[in-house]
Structure 1
Amino acid sequence: MLHTLLAFLPILTILILMVGFKQSSKFSLSLSLILSVAISLFAWKMSGIDIGAYVLFGFLKAFDILVIVFGAILILNTLKFSGGMNSINRAFSAISTDRRVQVIIIGWAFGAFIEGAAGFGTPAALAAPLLIGLGFPALAAAMSALILNSSPVSFGAVGTPTNGIQISIASLVGSENITSYMQEVTVLTALIHSVAAMIIPTLVVFLLVKFFGKNKSFKDALPILPFSIFASLMFVIPYFLIAKFGGFEIPSLVGGLICLGILILSAKIGFLTPKDSWDFDSQDRWPSFWVGSQKSESLQGSKHINIWLAWLPYLLISLILVLTRIPQIGLKDYLTSLKISFPEIFGVANTAYSFAYGYLPGIIPFILVAILTIFLHKMKAQEVKMAWSATFKQVGAAVIPLCAGVAMVQLMVNTGNNPQGFESMLRVMAKFFADISGQAYVVVSPLIGVLGAFFSGSNTVSNLLFAPLQFEAASLVGLKTQVIMALQNIGGAAGNMICINNIVAVCATVGLIGKGEHRLLTYNILPCLLYCLIITTTAIFLL
């Protein structure tokens, strides 16, 4: 019992400090890392060398995330100083000046497409700055991007999270049955996600008008209901059909692309969009905590460029992501082979690190396209210097919280490497939920997926960690394992709304480090739990 309480202590510390006391992620995560080190040393009896190795490995893995964040911010700043963002703002205003329509098109449809192509936090890193450029408060953009990046996640990065389940349970299912088994898991994942996805765009608009609207009233969301429900349908229909007949690699990618095209056309002709446009209050009346270092005013200037040139960097990013993420094209294997590998730290298992510079989206395509944009937009040397300088300054604020958060996760995942034979902290927490639930395990299952994503920042890692445990628990209590595997997969996706790494990364991207993390965690907990309630209710009918 003591080990269970101690295993939960770091996560409880984060929640209490960030939600209860409104502390920054820098302080909360740093303290939780120290606490995790002490618990690992004294309760799990790990050696100091092992603890040090896993912490250092966490710092190295955090560098991967920082590179992605750097690239996403650099794209925004490059467009900001080249005049491209001004042109994009005008183009979106021409499609619709309604902020409710804009958040659905960019956060939902564009975000789903980018999730399908790249995943790993890329959608929020791209969508949130784009929304800010259109005139959204930074906090509103970050909240919306995180919540909307939920339903597509299980099939993100060309199906990587679902493939993580296949890898982790292949030995339990048997190699001769795994293909047909995973096809059923894929269809169940898409079906259950689709039910929850029907409310996600609508939910985000309701939160947007309530927290950030002039009137602070849910009534302002009612006129957008036809369009938001239509947006859900235009995504989930191709999404489900592709999952059923084409496998788990491209449902989000193709579903997002189809949805994006249909919604842009619909908004242009005014199909199902509100008659009256809705906007935020004037910016001089925004509270200071809404605003990050990337203010929309800073993106307004006299310089404008051709709209096609302005959009070309994002089009190139999307094209490169598609070409490099679909295995059949042939570039993925080559790019994944481009890496700088380091041996295990102090000889400790599971600490060998590879910097996959060829496949990391922060470099290809983000930084690559940012450099190309210098020439495409004919930027001056001073403009380039300002873009890069601003980017380094913003990313610097995220270094400590990201390093502390990822290091804590790596340590907790690997606490099973101890001389006493204790299971790791994460497995202790998951087994606690399984033991107390019994036949009600269907309720607990998605929460375990959320827990894994909350810690690791990844649906894939959550699946790799907990899919075998969930399979075994479902078998013990007599539940259909395919449904439980789907709930693990979907719970890990829902956990992206609240996972610390994603929150810190998006705060760094929009300039909210130090003042936005606890608010995002507070805002997004209820949507995450609501998502879990919907998927659990749906799953009960499928058991």
Structure 2
Amino acid sequence: MFQQPIAPVGGSLGWSALVAALPLLLLFVLLGVFRVRAWLASLIGLVASLVVALAVYGMPGDQAFSSAAEGIAFGLFPAMWIVVNAIWIYRMTVTSGHFDVLRRSFASVSDDFRVQAIIIAFAFGALLEALAGFGAPVAICAVMLVALGLPPLKAAAVALVANTAPVAYGAVALPVITLSRITGLPLDDVAVMTGRQVPLLAVIVPFVLLGLVDGKRGLREAWPAALVGGVGFGVAQCLMAHFGPIQLADIVASLVSAGAVLLLLRSWRPAGGSRSLGDDEQVLTVAPGGGPGTAHVGAGDRRSEVVRAFGPYGVIILLFAVAALPPVAAALGSVTKSFAWPGVHVLTAEGKPLSLATFKFDWLANSGTILFIAGLLTIAILGLTVPEAVRTYGRTLRQLAGAIVTVVSVLGLAYVLNLSGQTATLGQFLAGAGAAFALLSPVLGWFGTAVTGSDTSSNSLFGLLQVSAAQHAGMSPLLAAAGNTTGGVLGKMLSPQNLAIGASAVGLAGREGDLLRKVLVATLIFLPLMCLLVYLQSTPVLGWMVP
């Protein structure tokens, strides 16, 4: 039995935290400074975490490597099982030609890239996040934007930044449900408190997307679309968090957002210019309606083909809605297997066992399995043959090979950090800020998601720690817990696996470092605002917002 040390470096929490952070710092320096490929940087970070666990924290070798193996297993299932099946469905629409129908349908709504970014990356991407999450919205929306004519690097950056506001309630509200289970706080309270933070992001994100696509001119000419789309999403998400089934929060919000923009476009069109690109990108043509846009849209597709193009996503919504029904959910969950991961016997510094040592194999209730079933139905909807679908699955696996290595390496790293005690050291160091911890609470969630690529994983890692630190700092535990998941949504755009997924989806594998620098500005805008909001909610100024 291994008991985690909190301050193994000379009894100093500060020095211990610095050493514990080295694997993460190494990972981000390799990515952002030296432009090392994400899969290689992640493997190096995993090795570094093992070295620190063995040499500094005194973790037995068999347990350290077994911890890494558990993280790798989690990366394969459920994380990549979800992503692979979601991308498989998308690639089948490409194989059948229905992706072009889908693209033309979106293009016919508006010939302006800035509006398309809001409708596709923000609204449609939020719908995909609500249904699947784990990188699928980034890959699908980035490819769709490239198909419409947006340059690859810009398309991937737009998709990553757009994938923020829906994350807390993504994958059918899995992050907030997990946070409630980890902390023991009532789910309704966690959902409501989170719903009083993340909708603010929903209002701001579309404006940042306009800036990414077209700079100041985009903000000046297309701001009504950003305002209507963002406010529509934020209000719907907030209302669903308070009064509706939280599993449907992002689904309703995405549909309201898209509907609001479509209504606006019936009486308003943005002014346009001739180009919206940087020096390193191709020049766009001017769309017939004026402004940066795609080439001329065709005469139109038959209604039956448009229905078939949207059919796979309708099937996904239907299957998830059915799976969320209590009797069905209970039946699916009845075959879930949970077992102690072999070779991991870890106690916290307080002598308590860690729940991460238990592996949950929910093979039937998993979102990836539901997506796989949707994929089987998609074969019939799109009129593909079984051999075509199988070949498409193989191409999907080859396309995502680098992303798979990145994901499993980073999650292996995360499990080593958490089970060896490195995460606990870093968390306690931040919690030592006392009353100022309210400012740092979102940073901790951001950090967890940036490492694992999942707000759910970040809540698993730091949720209980946030509650404990808040109690010592005299802060509301509920506020700290919500601050973790809200801050976490901002780290997703920087996580190595999401960078790898976005880059590989648009044919830029190996340029994850360029993509990181592209989205870094957005994080520097969002994170301070969220830290300030949580801090004000911990004071009488906005304390009335805490249930």
TM score, norm. by length of structure 1: 0.84
CA drift at 1:261: 2.9
CA contact (8 A) 1:58 1:409 kept: yes
Distance 2:273 2:365 in 1: 41
Residue 232 of structure 2 corresponds to which residue in structure 1? 234
1:488 counterpart letter in structure 2: N
CA drift at 1:263: 2.6
Residue 17 of structure 2 corresponds to which residue in structure 1? 4
CA drift at 1:327: 4.2
Distance 2:276 2:384 in 1: 32
Q: Which 5+ residue runs of structure 1 have no aligned equivalent?
A: 171-177, 211-217, 288-295, 416-423
CA contact (8 A) 1:98 1:278 kept: no
Residue 536 of structure 1 corresponds to which residue in structure 2? 531
Residue 290 of structure 2 corresponds to which residue in structure 1? none
Residue 118 of structure 2 corresponds to which residue in structure 1? 104
The verdict on how the C-alpha distance between 1:197 and 1:512 changes in structure 2, with shifts beyond 3 A counting, is: same
Residue 246 of structure 1 corresponds to which residue in structure 2? 244
Residue 78 of structure 1 corresponds to which residue in structure 2? 92
CA contact (8 A) 1:121 1:502 kept: yes
Residue 451 of structure 2 corresponds to which residue in structure 1? 455
CA drift at 1:257: 2.3
Residue 388 of structure 1 corresponds to which residue in structure 2? 393
Residue 359 of structure 1 corresponds to which residue in structure 2? 365
Residue 127 of structure 1 corresponds to which residue in structure 2? 141
Give the share of equivalent positions with the same residue, in percent. Answer: 26
1:113 aligns with 2:127: yes
Distance 2:88 2:311 in 1: 15
CA drift at 1:25: 0.8
The verdict on how the C-alpha distance between 1:72 and 1:169 changes in structure 2, with shifts beyond 3 A counting, is: closer
CA drift at 1:312: 1.1
Distance 2:146 2:365 in 1: 28
1:313 counterpart letter in structure 2: P
Distance 1:193 1:489 in 2: 9
Distance 1:15 1:190 in 2: 31
The verdict on how the C-alpha distance between 1:246 and 1:524 changes in structure 2, with shifts beyond 3 A counting, is: same
Which stretch has the larger CA shift, 49-58 or 158-167? Answer: 158-167
Match of 1:136 among 136, 143, 150: 150
1:485 aligns with 2:487: no
The verdict on how the C-alpha distance between 1:430 and 1:542 changes in structure 2, with shifts beyond 3 A counting, is: same
The verdict on how the C-alpha distance between 1:390 and 1:280 changes in structure 2, with shifts beyond 3 A counting, is: farther
Q: Deviations over 1:46-69 (max 9, x none)?
A: 111101211111221121233223
1:34 aligns with 2:47: yes
Distance 2:252 2:378 in 1: 26
Match of 1:198 among 184, 188, 203: 203
Distance 1:248 1:114 in 2: 16
Distance 2:318 2:109 in 1: 23
TM score, norm. by length of structure 2: 0.83
Match of 2:518 among 518, 523, 536: 523
Which stretch has the larger CA shift, 487-496 or 393-402? Answer: 393-402
1:255 aligns with 2:253: yes
2:55 counterpart letter in structure 1: F
1:88 counterpart letter in structure 2: L
> What are the equivalent positions in structure 2 for 1:195-344 lying under 5 Å apart?
195-210=200-215, 218-246=216-244, 248-267=246-265, 269=266, 271-276=267-272, 286=282, 306-324=305-323, 326-328=324-326, 330-338=327-335, 344=341
**Count of residues in correspondence between the two structures:** 501
Distance 2:263 2:449 in 1: 35
CA contact (8 A) 1:195 1:534 kept: no
CA drift at 1:355: 4.3
CA drift at 1:336: 3.5
CA contact (8 A) 1:99 1:279 kept: no
Task: For residue 475 of structure 2, give the secondary structure of its aligned residue in structure 1.
Answer: coil
1:370 aligns with 2:364: no
CA drift at 1:444: 0.8
Distance 1:79 1:284 in 2: 31
CA contact (8 A) 2:130 2:173 kept: yes
Match of 1:409 among 414, 418, 426: 414
CA contact (8 A) 2:228 2:260 kept: no
The verdict on how the C-alpha distance between 1:337 and 1:119 changes in structure 2, with shifts beyond 3 A counting, is: farther
CA drift at 1:445: 0.9
Q: Which 5+ residue runs of structure 2 have no aligned equivalent?
A: 1-13, 284-293, 347-355
CA contact (8 A) 1:68 1:363 kept: yes
The verdict on how the C-alpha distance between 1:373 and 1:524 changes in structure 2, with shifts beyond 3 A counting, is: same
CA drift at 1:477: 2.5
1:475 counterpart letter in structure 2: Q
Over the aligned positions, Cα root-mean-square deviation in angstroms equals 3.1
1:442 counterpart letter in structure 2: A
CA contact (8 A) 1:201 1:231 kept: yes
Match of 1:426 among 416, 423, 426: 423
